[in-house]
Structure formats: C-alpha cells, structure tokens
Amino acid sequence: MGFRDYGDFDAVGLAAWCDLASEPGRVLDEALERTAALNPQLNAVIHLMEGRARDAIAAGLPDGPFKGVPFLVKDLMTAFAGEPDARRIAPVP
C-alpha cells in the first residue's frame, strides 16, 4: 500500500502524520518502496536496515521531533553493531 502524500511532507510533517495516524510502518513501507524504485539509478543506498526499523516500531518508538521518520545514515564516520561496515573498502589509487 502506497502513501501517496509522502513526497508532500518534510521530516517534521511525516513525524506529525505518524503521530496522528499511528502508522509509522506505513511510512517505512513507502520509504522502502521509493528506495527500491530510485536506488538502481542513484546507487546511493548500499545496505538497508529494514529489520532494525521494524523491530524499533514494534518495540515502541521513543518520543522526539522525528518519531517514525525513516532516515539514511552516511557511513563515513558511523558504525552500527551487527551491520556491515563499508569504510573498510580499499581506496582507489
């Protein structure tokens, strides 16, 4: 099921929608669908943490201004336990 209005919201708007509708899973589904559709051309996302996101939703998301909003993590200086670390790739000469 798509969330057609997804592109009309900024992050704060998506968080407010998630709070009102109590459907962060629906927003996550739309973000994943859009990533799957666009990433073959962009090649920007190398690893999805969908399971981690769904577990967080099931456990109850903490309050905050971006509650329920999916986001990307740049792997330059960040690592997550149990997730692949792409920083170890040899530099191009």
Q: How far apart are CA 24 and CA 58, in angstroms?
A: 10
CA-nearest of 92, 40, 45 to 73 is: 45
Rounding to the nearest 10 degrees, give the CA dihedral for residues 3, 21, 15, 38: -10
* Ranges of the chain with pLDDT below 70: 1-3, 75-78, 86-93
List all residues 6 or more positions away from 15 whose beta carbon is below 8 Å from its beta carbon: 64, 65, 66, 67, 68, 69
Structure tokens at 70: 């999916």
